[in-house]
A and B are shown apart, each in its own frame.
Chain A
């Protein structure tokens, strides 16, 4: 507890691969928010994370480098939540597939500007789901929009994924 993120990555996990730069990480599994570079030195304990507006979650850290498209990563995570929703309540059962569809369109060059506001509204509304699954599940999307909105815009403007040159 309290070990810095940078230390975990560099010392305990053997550091970034050659040529890879830290872009963001999920500090505690699929239902935590992306932690961008500005938190690279954060102390990994519940209290500090909470103060920074983040959660330690499961503590399973997933690191993304500068060449990774975070829209694609978020799409992948949302795919998981859409599939694993139990189906009990409407926001979660229908909201995740809806957002998956929007993210898929953005990632595949079919995005539209208004998708961003729909996504952020829906994320907020998914907090009114029956259980804690959905509020957790929207964390990656929320943080994608909070920290990497430019990346999302770039997808929409270029009508393709900027990380994918093909």
Chain B
């Protein structure tokens, strides 16, 4: 461990530590502009200069460029170094607009801080200031190039770190320009990070412009729940409304960055349309009245028809507290549920994933960066878990190879291999890949049940032989790698894939490799839901039972089946048959219109809570603010009303868990204090897994990981891996799958007016061979007929997807819910070209 002296203080640091970081460990903050822990040292800005007095370097040197070494004596306050740093600031300010008071960065600007700290106050340069044109970079990022200090952080992040190419540095010398070749919306779904990393006001947050200053905001650590990764964020609140979200550093999860879906995905919390008042039959009533009515009716139905006549549906976007409160309520009352998934196939996949993710296989998002080979199966990172793209990119930069087995048109900002086969063929291909990879010794050493699975893998099929070359190459690469990660999706894949992926991982571990397994799940708290959901009912069965008159009351907790159930006419019909539909939500979901009783609930910003991400990591979001209507909406943008009232308008909403506790009680005299603690206590009691949960005030920032492994109670814990087969292949049949998309499909972020501008039009993706056969060209509109309805949609033709497959993003503005199921098979005569104006 190198030992050095900085400003007369001695310190031991890890080998490889830069002097700038060694000083920081001593509490000495050396100025920096270009240095950034994620982007590394480049020595461009020269503001981190210090004087080396003894050791291998002498004189003024950049502290970000030099590794700490034994015997170094460093002074940060040496006259020459200080004078040089002053000059650097002066140089940077030569052309800088002196208008902090009207700059959007003012108050959280590194340049402002350094200029003040360096004491540069008098302008000596008498020349003209150089100016630049600003560019329109789309709805999310504002560009003001005159404020640039050429630290190159933006171009390094955008191109080197992330791999996107449409923003970078142009020209030389004084004329260097950071932007795009032509003005236009930034192509990277990580563009918002430019705002965080730019040390000045060149890139600022566009949606929150002119709202306030940094010091006007209350900043609270929070989580992103727009996908299952659970990235760390900081939310800024002003006047009962979130106005901005930024990345928060997390060692284990997202590092320094977040994606744009997450950054701008919070606007649902202050939507004007957000339901704020309890309702009975569509009429506003008090919270208490709603609870009382719901409780009376639920009790009555339960008495008349037995508790099984009440069913409940929970949500993968609810906090663990709410999920636990719902489980407790169902147990206490004997109701059916909670069911969490509208799609049963997805439910099986998620539960398999949760069960297979043994402690020794689970890896964090940051661990993925360390891999030297990554095999992704049925996962489309940019559309399902955007930040995984950046983790893969880091691995790739370090030399890792990345291979995707997926039918979709995978788009990534770096090169990778893509075995694109139809969803139903994936298991067979994966099994073959495994067979090609595992060596004889490992096979001999397999346990009998593992051996059985291995032996069941059939020998060649024509599908395998047509991919043979690629499979061989991939198998060879895998054999040569040491640190592998298998990424596995749970959305479009068939039910055997998550298990096959885990089996693959275990066998690779037996071959002596370091192996990680990284599942993607649908929903920020899908993992929690997998642990807490009831195994008996499925959503489909509940609908059947409603139709049969067996289920009379349905409780929907922050889950809107209209968004997910693929047969809308049936759902509409069935919900009508209920005696009681109780809906709780913080979104303006469609089911509120059908609800007999509605209770408004709180978002994670208002209620806080635990969420379990896809690697089984329990993380905590703090309460950012409490109260009702944002002031901006309540007073229509004017001065808030000058009259006094004893209630905050629109504050009737409660956390969903609160409503569930009140429903569980026999009467309304609910203790308001301590109820959350009761739920957690119940959780620990019923699920020993949660016994490790630290108290709120000592909860670690990176959370804690719980990986139940096979102990998880699970409907079919027995191995379900069977002989992978192909359903009969018919040239006339096409598989149609519905998928997630970065912008446009996810329930919360699509409520952001700014992300709506980033959405592309709903479309169906089709391979060019299929399009040619059907005589369809790019942009044509087609009607896809299923057993239950018709979906009419424009066609996008591409070659980097599996032929024989139709892919439809579940766009919120598309009524894809007429397909009948989330995956269907259609014959080619069910796809018909229609004229633009023709109704379906």
Chain A interface residues (CB < 8 Å from chain B): 82-91, 93-95, 97-98, 101, 105, 118, 121-122, 125, 128-130
Do residues A90 and B91 form an inter-chain contact, with CB atoms below 8 A?
yes
Contacts of B44 in A (CB 8 A): 88-90, 130
Picked from A83, A84, A90, the residue with its CB within 8 Å of the CB of B46 is A90
- In the complex, how many angstroms separate the beta carbon of B778 from the nearest chain A beta carbon? 42
Q: What sequence of 0s and 1s flags, for each residue 24-62 of chain B, a beta carbon within 8 Å of any chain A beta carbon? A: 000000000000000000011111010000000000101
Report the stretch among B168-176, B569-577, B695-703 that lies at the interface. Answer: B168-176
Q: What sequence of 0s and 1s flags, for each residue 182-200 of chain B, a beta carbon within 8 Å of any chain A beta carbon? A: 0000000000000000000
Residue from A83, A89, A118 having most chain B Cβ neighbours under 10 A: A89
Do residues B46 and A87 form an inter-chain contact, with CB atoms below 8 A?
no
In the complex, A90→B171 CA distance in Å?
15
Instruction: Indicate if B150 sits at the interface (CB-CB under 8 A).
Output: yes
Do residues B172 and A86 form an inter-chain contact, with CB atoms below 8 A?
yes
Do residues A89 and B46 form an inter-chain contact, with CB atoms below 8 A?
yes
Say yes or no: A93-B87 contact (C-beta < 8 A), given A88-B44, A101-B126.
Answer: no
Contacts of B249 in A (CB 8 A): none
Do residues A93 and B45 form an inter-chain contact, with CB atoms below 8 A?
no
Picked from A82, A89, A91, the residue with its CB within 8 Å of the CB of B87 is A91
Picked from B43, B92, B94, the residue with its CB within 8 Å of the CB of A130 is B43
Q: A89-B46, A91-B87, A94-B92 are in contact. List 11 more A-B contacts (CB 8 A).
A: A82-B174, A83-B173, A87-B173, A87-B174, A90-B91, A94-B95, A101-B127, A121-B83, A125-B87, A128-B62, A128-B84
Contacts of B127 in A (CB 8 A): 97-98, 101
List the 6 closest pairs (A to B, CB-CB), nearest first: A94-B91, A87-B176, A101-B127, A85-B173, A87-B173, A87-B172
A-B contact pairs, 20 of them (CB 8 A): A82-B173, A83-B173, A84-B172, A86-B172, A86-B173, A87-B171, A87-B175, A90-B46, A90-B47, A90-B91, A91-B91, A93-B150, A93-B173, A95-B87, A98-B94, A98-B127, A101-B127, A121-B87, A125-B84, A128-B49
Do residues A84 and B88 form an inter-chain contact, with CB atoms below 8 A?
no
Do residues A93 and B125 form an inter-chain contact, with CB atoms below 8 A?
no
- In the complex, how many angstroms separate the beta carbon of B763 from the nearest chain A beta carbon? 42
* Chain B residue at minimum C-beta to C-beta distance from A118: B124
Residue from A90, A122, A130 having most chain B Cβ neighbours under 10 A: A90
In the complex, A86→B150 CA distance in Å?
12
In the complex, A83→B176 CA distance in Å?
11
Q: Which residues between 754 and 813 of chain B lie within 8 Å of chain A, taking CB atoms?
A: none
- In the complex, how many angstroms separate the beta carbon of A132 from the nearest chain B beta carbon? 14
* Chain A residue at minimum C-beta to C-beta distance from B59: A128
Do residues A129 and B46 form an inter-chain contact, with CB atoms below 8 A?
yes
Q: Which residues between 125 and 172 of chain B lie within 8 Å of chain A, taking CB atoms?
A: 125-127, 149-150, 152, 169, 171-172
Contacts of B43 in A (CB 8 A): 89, 130
* Chain B residue at minimum C-beta to C-beta distance from A87: B176
- In the complex, how many angstroms separate the beta carbon of B91 from the nearest chain A beta carbon? 4
- In the complex, how many angstroms separate the beta carbon of B64 from the nearest chain A beta carbon? 12
Q: What sequence of 0s and 1s flags, for each residue 339-362 of chain B, a beta carbon within 8 Å of any chain A beta carbon? A: 000000000000000000000000
- In the complex, how many angstroms separate the beta carbon of B227 from the nearest chain A beta carbon? 37
In the complex, A97→B174 CA distance in Å?
8
- In the complex, how many angstroms separate the beta carbon of A122 from the nearest chain B beta carbon? 7
- In the complex, how many angstroms separate the beta carbon of A102 from the nearest chain B beta carbon? 9
- In the complex, how many angstroms separate the beta carbon of A69 from the nearest chain B beta carbon? 21
In the complex, A122→B46 CA distance in Å?
14
Q: Which residues between 82 and 113 of chain B lie within 8 Å of chain A, taking CB atoms?
A: 83-84, 87-88, 91-92, 94-95
In the complex, A153→B676 CA distance in Å?
80
Contacts of A88 in B (CB 8 A): 44, 152
* Chain B residue at minimum C-beta to C-beta distance from A105: B126
In the complex, A105→B43 CA distance in Å?
32
Contacts of B46 in A (CB 8 A): 89-91, 128-130
* Chain B residue at minimum C-beta to C-beta distance from A94: B91
**Interface residues of chain B: helix, strand, loop or mixed (majority):** loop
Do residues B171 and A98 form an inter-chain contact, with CB atoms below 8 A?
no
* Chain B residue at minimum C-beta to C-beta distance from A84: B173
In the complex, A105→B126 CA distance in Å?
9
Do residues A101 and B91 form an inter-chain contact, with CB atoms below 8 A?
no
- In the complex, how many angstroms separate the beta carbon of B60 from the nearest chain A beta carbon? 5
Do residues B173 and A98 form an inter-chain contact, with CB atoms below 8 A?
no
Contacts of A122 in B (CB 8 A): 87
Do residues B92 and A90 form an inter-chain contact, with CB atoms below 8 A?
yes
Contacts of A97 in B (CB 8 A): 94, 127, 174
- In the complex, how many angstroms separate the beta carbon of B115 from the nearest chain A beta carbon? 13
Do residues A95 and B126 form an inter-chain contact, with CB atoms below 8 A?
no
In the complex, A141→B169 CA distance in Å?
30
In the complex, A4→B173 CA distance in Å?
38
Residue from A84, A93, A98 having most chain B Cβ neighbours under 10 A: A93
Say yes or no: A94-B60 contact (C-beta < 8 A), given A105-B126, A125-B87.
Answer: no
Contacts of B150 in A (CB 8 A): 87, 90, 93
Contacts of A84 in B (CB 8 A): 172-173
Contacts of A90 in B (CB 8 A): 44-47, 88, 91-92, 149-150
- In the complex, how many angstroms separate the beta carbon of A53 from the nearest chain B beta carbon? 19
- In the complex, how many angstroms separate the beta carbon of A31 from the nearest chain B beta carbon? 16
In the complex, A160→B83 CA distance in Å?
31
Contacts of B95 in A (CB 8 A): 94
Contacts of A98 in B (CB 8 A): 91, 94, 125, 127
Contacts of A128 in B (CB 8 A): 46, 49, 60, 62, 84
Contacts of A86 in B (CB 8 A): 172-173
- In the complex, how many angstroms separate the beta carbon of B6 from the nearest chain A beta carbon? 19
In the complex, A95→B91 CA distance in Å?
7
* Chain A residue at minimum C-beta to C-beta distance from B87: A125
In the complex, A77→B127 CA distance in Å?
19
In the complex, A88→B151 CA distance in Å?
8
Do residues A94 and B174 form an inter-chain contact, with CB atoms below 8 A?
yes
Contacts of B149 in A (CB 8 A): 90
Residue from B46, B127, B171 having most chain A Cβ neighbours under 10 A: B46
Picked from A85, A89, A101, A130, the residue with its CB within 8 Å of the CB of B125 is A101
Say yes or no: A93-B126 contact (C-beta < 8 A), given A98-B94, A121-B83, A128-B46.
Answer: no
Contacts of B175 in A (CB 8 A): 87
In the complex, A87→B44 CA distance in Å?
9
In the complex, A106→B174 CA distance in Å?
22
Residue from B84, B87, B95, B126 having most chain A Cβ neighbours under 10 A: B87
Do residues A93 and B176 form an inter-chain contact, with CB atoms below 8 A?
yes
Contacts of B87 in A (CB 8 A): 91, 95, 121-122, 125
- In the complex, how many angstroms separate the beta carbon of A14 from the nearest chain B beta carbon? 37
In the complex, A101→B123 CA distance in Å?
14
In the complex, A68→B152 CA distance in Å?
41
Contacts of B83 in A (CB 8 A): 121, 125
Contacts of B176 in A (CB 8 A): 87, 93
- In the complex, how many angstroms separate the beta carbon of B25 from the nearest chain A beta carbon? 25
Contacts of B49 in A (CB 8 A): 128
Contacts of A93 in B (CB 8 A): 91, 150, 173-174, 176
* Chain B residue at minimum C-beta to C-beta distance from A104: B127
Contacts of B94 in A (CB 8 A): 94, 97-98
Contacts of A82 in B (CB 8 A): 173-174
Residue from B91, B152, B169 having most chain A Cβ neighbours under 10 A: B91
- In the complex, how many angstroms separate the beta carbon of B151 from the nearest chain A beta carbon? 9
In the complex, A130→B44 CA distance in Å?
7
Contacts of B169 in A (CB 8 A): 87
Contacts of A121 in B (CB 8 A): 83, 87
* Chain A residue at minimum C-beta to C-beta distance from B127: A101
- In the complex, how many angstroms separate the beta carbon of B66 from the nearest chain A beta carbon? 13
In the complex, A90→B169 CA distance in Å?
15
In the complex, A129→B88 CA distance in Å?
11
In the complex, A122→B169 CA distance in Å?
26
* Chain B residue at minimum C-beta to C-beta distance from A81: B173
- In the complex, how many angstroms separate the beta carbon of A96 from the nearest chain B beta carbon? 8
Contacts of B92 in A (CB 8 A): 90, 94
- In the complex, how many angstroms separate the beta carbon of B92 from the nearest chain A beta carbon? 6
Contacts of A130 in B (CB 8 A): 43-44, 46
